[in-house]
Amino acid sequence: MTEPTYPASVTLDPAWTPETVAVQAGRPARVPGAPMNAPVTLSSTYVQSASVEYGRDGNAGWGALEAALGALDGGHAVTFSSGLAAATAIADLVPTGGTVVLSTVTYFGVRVIFERLQAHGRLHLRMVAPDDTAAVLAAADGADMVWVESIANPLIVVSDVPAIAAGARERGALTVVDSTFATPLRQRPLELGADVVMHSATKFIGGHSDLLLGAAVCRDPAHAATLTVHRHDHGALPGGLEAFLALRGLRTLAVRLDRSEASAGELARRLTAHPGVSRVHYPGLPGDPQHERASRVLRDGVGSMLSFEVAGTVEQTEAFLARLRLVTNGTSLGGVESLIERRARYAGDASIVGPTLCRLSVGIENVEDLWADLHEALRGALG
Ligand SMILES: Cc1ncc(COP(=O)(O)O)c(C=O)c1O
């Protein structure tokens, strides 16, 4: 029997919604004998050829995932071994001696990358509050890149991506949006004028806390080509198995996100009324300072990340976390299981969050079970 041959990619209907694209994109074309899923290629080397020779040159599994992420965000996707590897490669788009406007509320790992580049004299940084659009644009004068998060970690601050991207473009600067918290289902920054979207697919896209993977999706194919060269030369490559798992995770993103987001909204409402909580940061709440902007720049929802401040001491907050039996006290986010942590335990976040701020990544467990756990632990720790 001979192996069936089939075209590499299924044809997507431009009328399909993102939820459908997430399920269909990156599959082999639907012809008799074709598999439903792109095969997993686990090989570090290939029979010598003019294109792929070695594992750093490419992998069929990356191609399928990149086709799907590119279709969702409307650009050219390049995948990496982690979100931070993608961020490192994107920083390469800044010319030597150039200037980057960086949001003060940025995942601290990304901030460390840029601070180190600045310390080495590679570029200059201007730090600005992401919710002050006028300040972001003032800082963008003469800059080469503006970097914001669509929904920023860990304070859940929403940036006005359309206004920032338009203003940055007028000033000749690229806009990069880390859309890890929003995912392509809650914001598509390229459609809003941004130049590059970054995802830590480790989080919601993978969705099961079982892989690390990053992606950059570029409006300009020349940027994608630069990033591809960076990946090849620096070696921050996604594993073939991780690429498969990330694509499998993407298939269920819509249902996971709908469910966890509905629970996040409910938990945010209940936490707001809880005597053990002094403040909730969740743009889905009508009273949240981010609410109006979030309804304008995000679509179909505001995601399932929320933060809240425990009305007590650091010791009481740690006691609350220790009492939780369902929600896990651990770092990371975007998985099917709920995770919580006190962010000020990281030096990188201690300067921007209050000492008792807990960041909660709401999973897909039953919301009443989640609430019972949070409520009991708060009551036990605070009396
Ligand atoms: C918003 C954001 N961007 C980037 C990253 C880094 O991604 P990775 O852990 O895949 O390197 C993280 C990790 O927590 C994150 O929360």
pLDDT digits (tens, 9 = 90+) for 53-87: 999 999 888 999 999 999 999 999 999 999 999 99
Atom 8, ligand 1: which residue's CA is nearest? 83
pLDDT at residue 49 in the model: 86
User: Which is catalytic among the residues 27, 111, 188, 203?
Assistant: 203
* Beta carbon of 178 within 6 Å of any ligand 1 atom: yes
**Rounded distance from Cα 196 to ligand 1 centre (Å):** 16
CB 13 within 8 A of CB 248: no
Ligand 1 atom nearest to 213, measured from its CA = 10
Q: Residue 362 has what DSSP assignment?
A: -
Element (H, E) at 227: helix 221-234
Query: Helix, strand or coil for residue 171?
Result: coil
Q: Is the pLDDT of residue 239 over 90?
A: yes
DSSP 270-328: HHHT-TTEEEEE-TTSTTSTTHHHHHHHS-S---SEEEEEESS-HHHHHHHHHH-SSSE
**Rounded distance from Cα 367 to ligand 1 centre (Å):** 26
* Beta carbon of 176 within 6 Å of any ligand 1 atom: no
**Rounded distance from Cα 198 to ligand 1 centre (Å):** 10
Ligand 1 atom nearest to 106, measured from its CA = 1
Least confident stretch, 4-13, 103-112, 282-291, 333-342: 4-13
pLDDT at residue 3 in the model: 46
Exposed / middle / buried, residue 129 (Cβ in 10 Å: 0-12, 13-18, 19+): middle
Handedness of CA 191, 197, 201, 207 (dihedral sign): negative
pLDDT digits (tens, 9 = 90+) for 181-237: 999 999 999 999 999 999 999 999 999 999 999 999 999 999 999 999 999 999 999
* Beta carbon of 242 within 6 Å of any ligand 1 atom: no
* Beta carbon of 82 within 6 Å of any ligand 1 atom: yes
- How many CB atoms neighbour CB 316 within 10 A? 17
Query: What token pair was written down for 254?
Result: 């819509």
pLDDT at residue 8 in the model: 63
Atom 9, ligand 1: which residue's CA is nearest? 83
pLDDT digits (tens, 9 = 90+) for 166-181: 999 999 999 999 999 9
Give catalytic status of residue 56 as yes or no. Answer: yes
